[in-house]
Amino acid sequence: MAAPHRWRSRTIAQHVGEDEKLLGAVAPPIFQNTLFVQEDWDAFTRSAEALEGPPYLYSRLTNPTLQVAEKKIAALEGTESCKLLGSGMAAMSGAIMARVEAGSHVVCVDSVYGPTRKFLTDYLCRFGVETSYVVGEDPQEVFDACRPKTSLIFLESPSSLLYRLQDLGAIGSWARERGISTAIDSTYSTPLNQNPAAFGIDTVCHTVSKYLGGHSDVIGGAICCSAERMRGITFGEAELFGTVMSPFNAWLVNRSMRTLHLRVRAVAETADRVANWLRGRDEVARVFHVGLPDFPQAELRDRQMRGWGGLLTFEPRDQRVEWVRPFTEALRVYRLGVSWGGHESLVVPLEVQPMDWPEKRWIVRLYCGLEDPEDLLEDLEQAFAKVAAG
């Protein structure tokens, strides 16, 4: 069980979970083994019940390499436990499954990650679980959507296309008083920029495939919560769906944790520059970026977040696909692709209609990576020029 750590986040990321140096190795080695053998009957019995090792039983439950990174993430997030899983979706679907039963009702934000919505609406309906969607910016709208059968409120703040926030403190305390569980997809923020558990949110989910992995070479997820909730997930969703992360991926995550603060700060600075530059362009109708001084939810942002990341989105003035397509294809440094949080800049064009928009609009999401910001600005400049030239 992780004791609350008095170290600051950068020190936690280097040292927590690494007290024991096997043969003096400063980089913890990979335990690439499926099972663990025990010296005696008692250890064998204890290994089967342990939420954390030693003793360890079997790597589908837990493994020493996973525990190194799990202890860091739990300490950064301020929760008793963290569990690394095979993907972000294993974290989202596992956290949801842990809090619903046949006939349950879920309240979820409309701006939630697409596959999470698909899981709630298209998959869980098979088991009689119903989901209501809300914009989520006004906590009262969330409360009003709850029913007697509501067992879970699922949040994503900020969301990952238009960066909408929910008031974590207001929703967390209201739900707790009524015995309704709360969970959040906090991938955008990483544990460095937001700690939802401090605001009363029960379960904090991350996609490790983004900033936590950080080099576009790991698919992974994490669930952070109390030890009691984690016991249910470890011997429930994680054990039974078999969604554990591989030791090699956990080793890569541990490597990545050491530079998390450097990477997130660098991409946020670049995104600030790009967002401000885009605001001065005639081709751009609106820029969405958490770091803008006039971000619509700036007061809430400053209350519950410590910073932001490298994502931003703009709405092109020319809404024809004949503009959006050649623009995204003209970019050279920003590559056309989903995902974000790695070293490389990315662009993804999408036609979206949030609940509170009267119509569909084309948006262009940019992820600013670790390249030189000058090269990114030049890339955007040449793409705007190329589309204008036809």
Ligand X SMILES: *Cc1c(COP(=O)(O)O)cnc(C)c1O
Alpha carbon distance 279, 287 (integer Å): 6
Instruction: Give the containing element (helix H, strand E) for 145.
Output: helix 139-145
Tokens 């495939």 belong to 209
Centre a 10 Å sphere on the Cβ of residue 228 and count the other Cβ atoms it contains: 10
Shortest Å, Cβ 69 to ligand X = 15
CB 331 within 8 A of CB 380: yes
Interaction mask 199-228, ligand X, x per CB under 6 A: --------x-xx--------x-x-------
Alpha carbon distance 320, 325 (integer Å): 9
Stretch that binds ligand X, among 88-96, 122-130, 329-337, 368-376 (CB under 6 A): 88-96
Shortest Å, Cβ 219 to ligand X = 5
Considering beta carbons, is residue 55 or 86 the nearer one to ligand X?
A: 86
Residue 127 phi, psi dihedral angles, 5° rounding: -105, 15
Shortest Å, Cβ 186 to ligand X = 9
Which residues in 210-358 belong to E strands, given as ranges? 221-225, 284-288, 311-316, 335-336, 346-352
Considering beta carbons, is residue 104 or 186 the nearer one to ligand X?
A: 186
Contact residue for ligand X among 68, 69, 74, 89 (CB under 6 A): 89
**Nearest-CA neighbor of 31 among 54, 2, 64, 73?**
64
Contact residue for ligand X among 187, 189, 193, 246 (CB under 6 A): 187
First to last CA, the chain: 61
Contact residue for ligand X among 87, 182, 256, 328 (CB under 6 A): 87
Residues of this chain, 104-143, that bind ligand X according to CB under 6 A: 113
CB 308 within 8 A of CB 268: yes
The residue nearest ligand X at its CB is: 88
Considering beta carbons, is residue 143 or 367 the nearer one to ligand X?
A: 367
Tokens 């300490």 belong to 75
363 near ligand X, judged by CB under 6 A: no
Count of alpha carbons within 13 Å of 273, Cβ hemisphere only? Answer: 16
Binding residues for ligand X, rule CB under 6 A, total 14
Stretch that binds ligand X, among 47-55, 86-94, 231-239, 268-276 (CB under 6 A): 86-94
193 near ligand X, judged by CB under 6 A: no
**Count of all residues that appear for the chain in the document:** 390
Q: Given the rule CB under 6 A, which residues bind ligand X? A: 87-89, 92, 113, 160, 185, 187, 207, 209-210, 219, 221, 339
